[in-house]
Chains A and B, each alone.
Chain A
Amino acid sequence: MQRCWSLLFAAVNLSAIGLFAIAPAMGWWLPHNIASYGADVDRLFYIILIATGFFFVVTQSALSYFMFRFCAQEGVKAKNIHGHFGLELLWTAVPFAILVYIGFAQIPTWAKMKYIEIETWFPITYNGKNLDPDLHITVLGRQWEWRMRYPQKNIPADPLAWADLGNLQDLHLVNELHAWKDAKVRIHLKTQDVIHSFFLPNLRLKQDALPGKIMPVWFQPIEANVRYNTNTKTLEELNSSPWEIACAELCGGRHYRMRGKLFVHESKQDYERWFADSILKQRLHNSPPTQETLAAGIGVRQ
C-alpha cells in the first residue's frame, strides 16, 4: 500500500517531463524573438534549461525509485546512514562548477542588454558604449496602464530633462509602444505610484519601474509587425499574433489590466508618417469633422 505513493510521485515527474516534450509543439514555448540580443538570452535560457532539466530527471527518478525500493517493509529495520565523503564532494563540486560557468557565460549577454554597443571576447567584455539612440520614449506606469510619451523628431535636445518634464509638442499615447525595425530605442521608464515591471516578452526585456526614479532601458527590434496606411489612416498588422506589453510585478488588484501592444513599423519613414498624423490629431484646433456625421445621422464618427 505504502508503495503506491512512489507511483504517484513517479507519475507527477513523468507528466512534468512529458510536458517538456510536447510544449514546443503546442505553442507553449518562448514567444517569437524580435530583439537584437534575444538570441543570446534564449541561448542562456537553453543552457540553464538543459542543466536543470537533466538534474531534475536524474534526481526525481532516483527519488521515485528509492521511495519504491526502500519503503517501510514488515520486519525490516531502518538503517542509519552517516554520509559519504566522496558523494558529498561530488554533489557540491558539480553545482559549483555549473554556477561558475553560468556566472561567466551570462556576462556578455547582460552587457549587451545594458549597453547599446559592446565588444566581447568571451568571457570578457570591454569597450561598452552608450551610442546615440534613434528614438527616445518615456513610459510611465500607473495603476493600471502604461502611458507613453513620444518626442517630436524622435530625439529631444536634452533627453534626461525631456524625460522629466516633457514638451508641449509630445505625442501622448496609452498602452501603445511604437518603434521601427532596427531602431535603437531608448526608454525612460517611470512609475507614478507603486513598483511596476515593464515586460516585453518578444523583446526578451523586463525592467522594474521604481517610484521616484527614471530607469534607462533600451532595445532594438529586428522585425516589423505593422505598416501605416496613409490613405485609410490606420495601422495594418503584418502578422496575426500581437506582440504584447505586460506588467510583470503584482501591482494591485487590476495588475492584469496593464496590457499593451508593441508596434514595430517597417521603416523609419513609415513610423514618421504615422507620427505626423497622430500628432496632428492630438494638436487639433478645430472640432473633429462633423459634416459626414450630420449626413449619416447621429453619433457616427468619421
Chain B
Amino acid sequence: MAKTPFIFSFFTKLLGLSAFSFLAFILIITGCSNSDSYPDDVVYPFRTDLLVDEVPKLTHDRLPGPGQLDKHIARIKELGGKTFNPRDLPENLRTELDSELNAIFGSPYKPTVGNPTLTEITSLAKALKLDEETLAAGSKLYRRNCLHCHGLAGDGRGPTGPWVNPHPRDFRQGKFKFVSSNPSGNKIKPRREDILRSLKVGIEGTSMPAFGLLSDQSLEQLTSYVVHLSLRGEVEFETVRTLLKKKNAVTELFELIPDAEPAKETIQEFVKLYLKDLLKAYQRSDLKGIEPAVYPELNDEQLLESVKRGYHLFSSSASDAFGCVSCHQDFGRQPLYQYDEWGTLVRPSNLTVSSYRGGRRPVDLYWRVKRGIPPSKMPGVTIPADEESKKIWDLVNFIEAMPFPSLLPDDVRSKIYGQVPRGVASLSEASK
C-alpha cells in the first residue's frame, strides 16, 4: 500500500493553517481596535478642491449623475460662474496659513478652537461650548456617526458622500441652511438649537438620519464639533478665496474685517482677528432668534380664510404678495434646479408633499419664510413689522394645508389639484 502522496498532506496542512490564520486575523481586527478617537497623527487636510466664488445664473432640469460633484463644480467656470483653485496659492502663503490653522484648530485627535496664547478667543470659544473636552468627545462621536458622509474636515466628501442626493453638507463655508437666528449685524449664523434640531430629528427627504436616540449630552458635543469644523473651514475658505481674488495681497485680507485693528498685517494676525469676528457672530446669533408674534387661535372658518389669504400670498405676483410660485413652480411639483452657494444643484421644495427639511413644526416653517434659506438663494420675506406675523402665519397655514386636499377651501383645491384631486380617500375621511 502506497503512502499518501506528499502533495496531499501538504495541502491539508496548508488548508488547516490558512483556516487558523484567518480566524486569528478576524479576532485581531475585531477585538483589538476598540477606541473611537482618531489616530493622533491624523491632521486636517488643507483644502484642495475648487472654491466656488460665484455660481452661474442658470437653471437645469435635472441633476448630474451620482459621483459627479467635483466634475460638476469644475464645469462652473465655463458656464459663467467663478471658481478658484487653492493649488494656485503660492507655497509660502499656503504653508503659513496651514500651520496657523493647525495651531488654532488642532487635529482631529485633539480638536481645539484657540490655544493658550490666545486668551480672548479661548474664552469666547468656551462660552460657545467649544472647549477642548467637549470637542474631543464630539470628535469621537463624529468619527463614529458622521465621518462616513461628511468627511474628515467636514467637506461633505466622505466615502458615501458622492453617492447620495442631495449631497451631504460641506461645513467648510460656515454656511447653514436652516437658521432661526435674528442677530444684529450682517453675519447670520445658526443657533445651537438649529443644529441640534437637525441632528435630533434628521433632515426629512434627504439621507441625513435622525440621531434622536443619542443622549442630549452627545448631541451637544456633536454640535460643538460641527461648529468647530465650520469655523476652521470658513477661516480657510475666506482666506484662500480673498488671497486668490486679490492677487495674493495679504493686506487686502483685512478689508473683510474693517472694524478690527490689526497689530501687523500678516496671515497669522488675520486668522486670529477673523476667527474672533466669527465667534462673536455665533454668539450674537445664538442670543437672538426670530420671535413670531403669538399665533392667533382660529376656528375652522377663520382657518379656511387664512389658508385662502396664504394661497394669495403664495401664488400672486401682486405687490402685496410674496410670489413664491415663481420658484416653487406648480407648487413645487416641477423641479427647477438652481445653483446654491456650494456649487451644487438644488431645487425648490415640493410643497404638495408633507415633508419639510428644516423641520415640520409651524414655527420652523415661520422661520424658513422669514429668514429664507440664504445659501440656496431662497429669499426671506421683508414686510413691515406690524403685518409681518399675520401674513407669515397665513402663508404657513396655507403651506401646512397644501398636502392635504381636505383642508383646502374648494376653489384653492381645484387650482392646486384640478377637478379630480389626488388623495380622494382623505376627502371622504373628512366628510365622515
A residues sitting closer than 8 Å to B (CB atoms) are 2, 72, 74-75, 143-145, 147, 156-158, 160-162, 164-168, 172-176, 253-254, 257, 259-261, 281-288, 290, 294, 297-299, 301
Contacts A158-B425, A254-B148, A287-B290; A282 near B354 (Cβ below 8 A): no
Contact B404 A284 (CB under 8 A): no
Given the complex, which residues of B lie within 8 Å of A301, measured CB to CB? 192-193, 196
Given the complex, which residues of A lie within 8 Å of B361, measured CB to CB? 281-284
B64 within 8 A of A: no
Report Cα–Cα, A281/B401, bound state, in Å. 19
Contact B209 A286 (CB under 8 A): no
> Which secondary structure characterizes the binding site on chain A?
loop
- Residue-wise, chain B 205-235 has the 8 Å CB interface mask toward A (1 for contact) of 0010110110000000000000000000000
> Which secondary structure characterizes the binding site on chain B?
loop
Contact B407 A175 (CB under 8 A): no
B residues sitting closer than 8 Å to A (CB atoms) are 1, 4, 127-129, 148, 160, 180, 191-193, 196, 201-202, 204, 207, 209-210, 212-213, 283, 286-287, 289-292, 294-295, 354, 360-363, 366, 400-401, 403-404, 407, 423, 425-426, 428-429, 432
A159 → B minimal CB distance (Å):
10
Given the complex, which residues of B lie within 8 Å of A144, measured CB to CB? 209
Closest to A166 in B: B354
Q: List 24 A-B contacts (CB under 8 A).
A: A74-B1, A147-B204, A158-B425, A158-B432, A165-B403, A166-B404, A167-B404, A167-B426, A168-B403, A168-B404, A168-B407, A172-B360, A176-B213, A282-B360, A283-B362, A284-B362, A285-B292, A285-B362, A286-B291, A286-B294, A286-B295, A297-B127, A298-B129, A299-B191
Given the complex, which residues of B lie within 8 Å of A176, measured CB to CB? 212-213
Tell me how many residue pairs across A and B have CB atoms closer than 8 Å: 109
B20 → A minimal CB distance (Å):
11
The 7 A-B residue pairs whose C-beta atoms are closest, nearest first, are A161-B425, A285-B295, A174-B210, A299-B192, A158-B429, A284-B361, A145-B209
Report Cα–Cα, A301/B295, bound state, in Å. 22
Contact B428 A165 (CB under 8 A): no
Report Cα–Cα, A164/B295, bound state, in Å. 30
Given the complex, which residues of A lie within 8 Å of B202, measured CB to CB? 145, 174
Report Cα–Cα, A257/B202, bound state, in Å. 13
Contacts A168-B400, A174-B210, A175-B213; A299 near B292 (Cβ below 8 A): no
Besides the known contacts A166-B404, A281-B361, A298-B192, 19 further A-B residue pairs in the complex with CB atoms under 8 A apart:
A2-B4, A144-B209, A157-B429, A158-B425, A158-B432, A160-B425, A162-B429, A165-B403, A168-B354, A175-B213, A257-B209, A259-B213, A260-B213, A282-B360, A286-B295, A287-B363, A294-B287, A298-B129, A298-B287
Contacts A260-B213, A286-B294; A164 near B354 (Cβ below 8 A): no
Contacts A174-B202, A285-B295, A286-B292; A261 near B213 (Cβ below 8 A): yes
Closest to A162 in B: B429
Given the complex, which residues of B lie within 8 Å of A162, measured CB to CB? 426, 429
Contacts A145-B209, A158-B432, A283-B361; A299 near B128 (Cβ below 8 A): yes
Q: Which of A174, A282, A294 has the most CB of B within 10 A?
A: A174
A83 → B minimal CB distance (Å):
27
Closest to B402 in A: A168
Report Cα–Cα, A66/B293, bound state, in Å. 86
Given the complex, which residues of A lie within 8 Å of B212, measured CB to CB? 173-176
Closest to B423 in A: A165
Report Cα–Cα, A92/B191, bound state, in Å. 71
Given the complex, which residues of B lie within 8 Å of A259, measured CB to CB? 213
Given the complex, which residues of A lie within 8 Å of B128, measured CB to CB? 298-299
Contact B289 A287 (CB under 8 A): yes
Report Cα–Cα, A142/B4, bound state, in Å. 57
Report Cα–Cα, A193/B16, bound state, in Å. 43
| One of B127, B160, B407, B423 near A298 (C-beta < 8 A) | B127
Report Cα–Cα, A285/B366, bound state, in Å. 8
A117 → B minimal CB distance (Å):
25
Report Cα–Cα, A164/B37, bound state, in Å. 44
Q: Which of A75, A165, A281, A283 has the most CB of B within 10 A?
A: A165
Closest to B430 in A: A157
Given the complex, which residues of B lie within 8 Å of A74, measured CB to CB? 1
Given the complex, which residues of A lie within 8 Å of B291, measured CB to CB? 286-287, 290
Given the complex, which residues of B lie within 8 Å of A166, measured CB to CB? 354, 404
Given the complex, which residues of B lie within 8 Å of A143, measured CB to CB? 207
Given the complex, which residues of A lie within 8 Å of B425, measured CB to CB? 158, 160-161, 164-165
Closest to A5 in B: B12
Report Cα–Cα, A298/B320, bound state, in Å. 38
Given the complex, which residues of A lie within 8 Å of B283, measured CB to CB? 298
B374 → A minimal CB distance (Å):
19
Given the complex, which residues of A lie within 8 Å of B129, measured CB to CB? 298-299
Report Cα–Cα, A172/B204, bound state, in Å. 11
Given the complex, which residues of B lie within 8 Å of A298, measured CB to CB? 127-129, 192, 283, 286-287
